[in-house]
Structure 1
Amino acid sequence: MVPSKLARHFSTKHPSHNSKDIEYFQRLKSQNEKQSQRMLSSLRVSDKAQETSCLVAELIAKAKKAHTIAENLILPACKEIAVMIGPDATKEIDKILLSNNTIKRRIDDMSVDIETVLTEKIQRSAKFALQVDDSTDISGHCQLIANVRYVDGESIEENFFFCKELHTHATGEEMYKTTADYLTEQGLNWGMCHSICTDGAASMTGRVKGFVNKVRQVNPDVQITHCMLHREALVAKAMPPDLTAVLEQAVKIVNYIKSRPLKSRLFSTLCNEMGAEHHGLLLHTEVRWLSRGKVLSCVYELRDKLVAFANEHDLPYKEHMDDESWWVKLVYLADIFSHLNDLNIRMQGKNDNILTATDKLNGFRSKLRLWQNKVAKKNIEMFPLTSSDTAHKTAIFLQVVASAGGELAFSSLAYVKNKTRTRLSVEQDLRVALSTISPRIKRLCSQKQAQVSH
């Protein structure tokens, strides 16, 4: 018989019983109730600690930071802040699990939950469109990345779909097989695919083994479009030969210095001694062609330092350091690529579509024609770096702007750099970081046994 029933039994059935026995059972009852309250309180703390751990993991994924930042930085910082509140607050923070492996598990669980919700939305929509591209990560492995568009209620939603490592090269067959396998896993099929947008590469649009051709064999009605935001890289290939040469030479000069640690340190020291605002150059690679504006601007702003450095060290194309016309062309490229970068940023966004992008593109083309007229009148205020130096020859700019006024199209595709992630967790991190669907954290926590840190 439980203590509460025993106490009631002695008080009703045996009123003459020793009062000390009754007091004993009453104390036993009180202790039992306190123990139950402590157990419930501990359970609530565990649940809160687990939910907090998930929220921190979500923040880390969205910030695209290393998983170890929780244990190495966030937790110690929280403890320091909690000192202002009191020792009890520090003890409560110690109960939150934030180890590297725990953060990875939390992100994986949230990614699966987001993927489940996304698949259910696509299945209800019964139609979807894909944006597909491949990229090589910093470890040299080819990653196939896809975004998906679908109808959710009365609105069109766009979300991160998947990121899969290709086992071989980026061939159309491999990309098709990887995508088809993922669709099958999610209960989807090619018949639901309404359109596919690619960058127009041979592996994507090849007539025999291209990705698009493989899809058309299964779904002949699928519509194929060329990403209008992906064509801006073609502009550099259509530049006049003299400008192309200047761009290539400037890039080689920058990469020559940046790829040699000793020269890079010496150049930084020189910039520091000469009081330069920038203490180094920006590395340029082909996959980062959108950075040309910033790279060239940095080169131009450090031109005096480069000339001084070239006098003491061997540099490729050092003979151009004293050529004023070479610097004229370079500063024009820095200005025009900066304008192209601004246009590219304005053409991106969740609510942008082919209509708004076309309007912005046509507006920029009209702006180019206006600039041509102004340059003909020796007005170069639209080129901030150029206009700051009156020694430049405006005739060169008239020729360059005129050559840039043809058919134009610009593009960008944002990639997330996979810094300290293992390849197995890249997709999970990307899904949590890029998806507009929030993970159902409370639901995930309810499915797991809560624990606290010791």
Structure 2
Amino acid sequence: MSGNCGGFKEYNISRHFTTKHANYASKLSTKEREATAQKLAANLQAQQNFFHRQTAIQESSTKASFMLSFKLAKASKPLFEALDESNDVKDTAQLLIFIRGINDTFEITDEFLTMESLKGQTRGEDLYDRVSAVIEKMKLPWSKLINVTTDGSPNLTGKNLNHVVNPVVKLVNFIRARGLQHRQFITFLEETDADHQDLLYHSRVRWLSLGKEFQRVWELKEKIGAFLELQGKADEFPELSNKSWLCDFAFAADVFSHMNELNMKLQGKDQFVQDMYTNVKAFKSKLVLFSRQILNKPLTHFPTLATLKEAGAKMKKYSESLDALHGEFCHRFSDFEKIDKSLQLVACPRPQNSSRGAAVRTD
């Protein structure tokens, strides 16, 4: 049977070559064929480097925002910019610049300023120079620019969960990044009456989508394991048969689910900063509560982890991970903590005086 399969594969490749690339062998010289092969290999390498480049672009965007913010640190006028960066179909980085202004009557206006193609390097310095040139071209006063934001949000998953995140992302990209393999996986799920018909796509850049992605992979883990067995690739993902790793996976799925809920609360238009920071403070309080509760093994807030009996011996480790995540949130939002009282004043400018109407002693 294997010999016949090998023959069919060889025939298919030969037929594809003669029908789709007839000019390659008949009309090209040896040197021309070598040059063409090198070009095809370079295109393949460019596709494989796509996700690695995306990560570098996000880091450069963040660096550029810090450089601009440093220059504008002493300004205090109502104008700021947002930077977003993505790649087009030709893998050319496109820098999108939005501008937001506030007038004397506190009306907020958002406008798309421009889109700049970055055909060379995408270092922080390059983004800074391009944004600076746009500001000068549009004759925008630097004195009124007070803030620069980017979509390059630093990863909040923490090093304690990297040993879970990396294999899951690798697994999803392994199945979805290959067209034929992806189609075979979808067909396999349909034939086995799986609850879901596909995996959600995820890359390392979009860490905020980990909650839904982890839950989907968890629910399909048995189907995925069976599919990898059929493909002869089970040895490349030994974690799926490791009970200790599966406990960590379940814990991470629950944690990222809670983080995804917070992320959804922070999205959308017409939100005030004091309300958004209130959600962050509430989540930090939840982490403290989760850390204490998990030591006593009530897993009400960790439904995925609660399905595994083996998880009981790892509660101390998970409590420490929650404490580390809490510390990371405190560090990332320390600037807001410094202005918390001011935010409370904006939220409630006229607090009730609790002493009004109270009896006064005269003796």
What TM-score does the superposition give when structure 2 sets the normalisation length? Answer: 0.61
In 1, the alpha carbon distance for the partners of 2:265 and 2:220 equals: 29
Alignment of 1:179-190 (within 5 A): 179-190=131-142
In 2, the alpha carbon distance for the partners of 1:263 and 1:349 equals: 36
How far has the Cα of 1:329 moved from its partner?
A: 1.3
Aligned residue number for residue 269 of structure 2 = 350
Alignment of 1:230-269 (within 5 A): 230-231=153-154, 233=155, 235-236=156-157, 238-240=158-160, 243-269=161-187
CA deviations 1:265-287 (Å, max 9, x no partner) are: 22222222221111222222122
Paired residue secondary structure (2:98): strand
How far has the Cα of 1:144 moved from its partner?
A: 1.9
Percentage of identical aligned residues = 28
In 2, the alpha carbon distance for the partners of 1:175 and 1:246 equals: 33
In 1, the alpha carbon distance for the partners of 2:87 and 2:241 equals: 38
Question: Which of the residues 285, 293, 304 maps onto 2:203?
Answer: 285
In 1, the alpha carbon distance for the partners of 2:223 and 2:329 equals: 36
Is 1:171 the counterpart of 2:123 in the alignment? yes
**Preserved CA contact (<8 Å) 1:300 1:327:** no
In 2, the alpha carbon distance for the partners of 1:160 and 1:337 equals: 33
How far has the Cα of 1:301 moved from its partner?
A: 0.6
Paired residue secondary structure (2:86): strand
Q: Which amino acid aligns with 1:189?
A: P
**Preserved CA contact (<8 Å) 1:332 1:383:** yes
CA deviations 1:83-124 (Å, max 9, x no partner) are: xxxxxxxxxxxxxxxxxxxxxxxxxxxxxxxxxxxxxxxxxx
How far has the Cα of 1:397 moved from its partner?
A: 4.5
Alignment of 1:53-452 (within 5 A): 127-157=78-108, 159-162=110-113, 163-198=115-150, 230-231=153-154, 233=155, 235-236=156-157, 238-240=158-160, 243-315=161-233, 317-387=236-306, 389-406=307-324, 407-409=327-329
CA deviations 1:364-423 (Å, max 9, x no partner) are: 111011112221221112123333x25351343442242232323399xxxxxxxxxxxx
In 2, the alpha carbon distance for the partners of 1:130 and 1:274 equals: 50
Paired residue secondary structure (2:253): helix
In 2, the alpha carbon distance for the partners of 1:338 and 1:305 equals: 22
CA deviations 1:215-249 (Å, max 9, x no partner) are: xxxxxxxxxxxxxxx34x1x22x332xx3122211
CA deviations 1:8-65 (Å, max 9, x no partner) are: xxxxxxxxxxxxxxxxxxxxxxxxxxxxxxxxxxxxxxxxxxxxxxxxxxxxxxxxxx
In 1, the alpha carbon distance for the partners of 2:282 and 2:77 equals: 36
Residues 246 and 344 from structure 1, CA distance in 2 versus in 1: closer, same or farther, beyond 3 angstroms?
Answer: same
Residues 126 and 266 from structure 1, CA distance in 2 versus in 1: closer, same or farther, beyond 3 angstroms?
Answer: closer
CA RMSD of aligned residues (A): 2.8
In 2, the alpha carbon distance for the partners of 1:380 and 1:126 equals: 49
Decide which structure has the larger Cα Rg and report it. 1
**Preserved CA contact (<8 Å) 1:142 1:169:** no
Paired residue secondary structure (2:80): strand
In 2, the alpha carbon distance for the partners of 1:191 and 1:352 equals: 26
Q: Which amino acid aligns with 2:79?
A: F
Residues 132 and 261 from structure 1, CA distance in 2 versus in 1: closer, same or farther, beyond 3 angstroms?
Answer: closer
**Preserved CA contact (<8 Å) 2:77 2:143:** no
**Preserved CA contact (<8 Å) 1:267 1:309:** yes
Aligned residue number for residue 426 of structure 1 = none
Residues 172 and 313 from structure 1, CA distance in 2 versus in 1: closer, same or farther, beyond 3 angstroms?
Answer: closer
The gaps in structure 1 that reach 5 residues or longer are: 1-124, 202-229, 412-454
Higher RCO (CA 8 Å, separation ≥ 6 residues): 1
Aligned length: 252
In 1, the alpha carbon distance for the partners of 2:218 and 2:130 equals: 45
Aligned residue number for residue 30 of structure 1 = none
How far has the Cα of 1:333 moved from its partner?
A: 1.3
The gaps in structure 2 that reach 5 residues or longer are: 1-75, 333-363
Residues 296 and 254 from structure 1, CA distance in 2 versus in 1: closer, same or farther, beyond 3 angstroms?
Answer: same
Q: Which amino acid aligns with 1:254?
A: V
